Chains A and B, each alone.
Chain A
């Protein structure tokens, strides 16, 4: 079953057309990677899915309802690229506030902090944390709502490799429990960890594939190289 369906989505930001007409779906119970270089429209697309992006035309349907519907707000979790937590609150106070907004209690807040490895830093002010820790605090504030759809904009930037692996294990555990996840990244080495891949370039979908399929199409075990081969093949066809 598809958790998110996007049909002919067109988004303008200022005078620039960022998304010229996208169509794809994000299935439930899987981690879908949204990969593309900086400026390819990943964040804009994610904002459209959580319902805070002004949309020119097209439809975005999440769990059977128009994106941003009031009924979706406790079923969709969103983590922005820059950590969006309160710097002048402690990690625990942040988690408890967002937990309360989703109708959850202190227990869930503490569990979410443990999940992202911040149990030991719960009493610290977010403003005193490192960049990576802030990002994890921000992630915990979305996990705490136990959403059915989780939209994560570059959640692993600046994390040490051990933590990165732990977080990906966490994402896969959530997927097994049925959560649909859309995770953006601009580095291809994250692509291998996704169940499915959406490759975005200049707002256009270059490929809707899986890591295995991309390796086969690009005739390389290295996903970065496979991606380049696919892009070049496309551009050769276009010109």
Chain B
């Protein structure tokens, strides 16, 4: 059991490099990872472009578009990771890896690192396109938006790894997406401000990590300098991602029936 926590930075980075190599052979996936969020954001931009803005209130696209910069990487990386992990399981490579010196946490961190790097690239592209082509207004520094987007992606990876431990088939894995992602999206404060929700719904949204990711982005959108609330939110998201990774390592069984 101790081997779940025996960390080897060398094996973690070797595994991350392997996952990135697999990605590199799949050109269409790379293209989609890099371009798709920008295209979808462009659609939102066109949707609200002609609507008059209400004086004194932030532009709808500024508000929604900024939030989407955090939600896209979360959703995409959740899906990509659940499928990747399920493939490890069905191809027998997972069972094989469990007989090698690679610890379970090394494997999961390797995935987190690889997809985190992919997400960083994705975030740089999307944020650049959003702030230049779509005139997305962000009061705070843009690099903080990238940082939060990458953290959201890592959270997606971690939850995807955790969910994949419970998926026995591709059909189940795909359906974990609406189960894990949609409630967090509904309750994160984008559709209805959190303070206007029913008390119990707000309480539920208090324990959902995406809530903090969205709040952090809203803080960056409003304030020129990084706020304390934003850093607290960033800490909560990072903590939730680490917790999910640890749980994923604990639920990944070396011995199975």
Q: Which B residues lie within 8 Å of A68 (CB)? A: 99, 254-255
Q: Is B196 an interface residue when CB atoms closer than 8 A count as contact?
A: no
A98-157 residues with Cβ-Cβ distance < 8 A to B are 98, 100-103, 125, 141, 145
Which of A84-92, A173-181, A200-208 is the contact stretch?
Answer: A84-92
Q: Are B18 and A52 in contact (CB under 8 A)?
A: no
- Interface size bracket, B side: 20 to 34
Q: Does B132 contact A (CB under 8 A)?
A: no
Which chain B residues border A55 with CB–CB below 8 Å? Answer: 255
Contact status of A52 and B99, CB under 8 A, knowing A88-B25, A88-B26: yes
The interface-forming segment of B42-50, B87-95, B141-149, B232-240 is B87-95
Q: How large is the interface on A (under 10, 10 to 19, 20 to 34, 35 or more residues)?
A: 35 or more
> Per-position contact with A for B1-43: 1 when CB-CB < 8 Å, else 0?
0110010001100110010011001100000000000000000
Chain B residues contacting A12 (CB-CB under 8 Å) are 257
Q: Are A82 and B92 in touch, CB under 8 angstroms? A: yes
CA distance A14 to B257 in the complex (A): 7
Q: Which residue of B lies closest to A101 (CB)?
A: B100
Q: Residue B151 at the A interface, CB < 8 A? A: no
Contact status of A98 and B100, CB under 8 A, knowing A52-B254, A54-B255, A84-B91:
yes
Say yes or no: B22 contacts A88, CB within 8 Å: yes
B18 touches A76 (CB 8 A): no
Please give the distance in Å from A191's CB to the nearest CB on chain B: 26
Docked-complex contact B99 and A73, CB < 8 angstroms = yes
Q: How far is the CB of B99 from chain A (nearest CB, A)?
A: 5
Q: Does B96 contact A (CB under 8 A)?
A: yes
Chain B residues with Cβ below 8 Å from A24 are none
Contact (Cβ within 8 A) A70 B18? no
Q: Does A84 contact B93, Cβ atoms closer than 8 Å?
A: yes
A210 — which chain B residues lie within 8 A by C-beta? none
Interface of A is mostly: loop
Within 8 A of A (CB), among B204-257: 254-257
Q: Does B101 contact A (CB under 8 A)?
A: yes
Pick from A52, A54, A89, A103: contact of B25, CB below 8 A: A89
Q: Is the CB of B96 within 8 A of A84?
A: yes
B98 at the interface (CB under 8 A from A): yes
User: In the complex, which residues of chain A have a beta carbon less than 8 angstroms from the beta carbon of B100?
Assistant: 73-74, 98, 101-102, 145
- Which A residues are in CB contact (< 8 Å) with B97? 101
Q: Are the C-beta atoms of B14 and A101 separated by less than 8 Å?
A: yes
Does A4 count as interface, using CB distance less than 8 angstroms? no
- Contact check, B6 vs A87: say whether CB atoms are below 8 A apart: no
The yes or no answer to A50 lying at the interface (CB within 8 A) is yes
What is the minimal beta-carbon distance from B224 to any residue of chain A, in angstroms? 45
| B102 in contact (CB, < 8 A) | yes
Q: Name the contact of B98 in the complex, choosing from A14, A52, A98, A102 (C-beta under 8 A).
A: A52
Minimum CB distance partner of B11 in chain A: A101
Question: Which of A70, A84, A97, A103 is close to B3, meaning CB atoms less than 8 Å apart?
Answer: A70
Contact B101 A74 (CB under 8 A): yes
User: Which one of B3, B22, B99 contacts A50 once the chains associate, using CB atoms below 8 Å?
Assistant: B99
The distance in angstroms between the C-alpha atoms of A121 and B18, with both chains bound, is 19
Residues of B within 8 A of A84 (CB): 91-93, 95-96
Contacting residues of chain A (35-83) with chain B, CB-CB under 8 angstroms: 47, 50-55, 68, 70, 73-74, 76, 78, 80, 82-83
Binary A-proximity of B88-126 (CB < 8 A = 1, otherwise 0): 000111011111111000000000000000000000000
Q: Point out residues on A near B: beta carbons under 8 Å.
A: 12-14, 47, 50-55, 68, 70, 73-74, 76, 78, 80, 82-90, 93, 97-98, 100-103, 125, 141, 145
Q: Pull 18 A–B residue pairs with CB atoms less than 8 Å apart, ordered by A.
A: A52-B98, A52-B254, A54-B257, A76-B99, A78-B96, A78-B99, A80-B92, A82-B92, A84-B91, A84-B95, A84-B96, A85-B91, A86-B93, A93-B18, A93-B21, A97-B15, A103-B101, A125-B25
- 10 tightest Cβ-Cβ pairs between the two chains A and B: A84-B92, A54-B255, A70-B3, A73-B101, A100-B14, A101-B100, A84-B96, A97-B18, A50-B99, A78-B99
* Beyond known contacts A55-B255, A82-B91: 8 more, CB 8 A cutoff: A51-B254, A70-B6, A80-B92, A80-B95, A85-B91, A87-B91, A93-B18, A98-B100
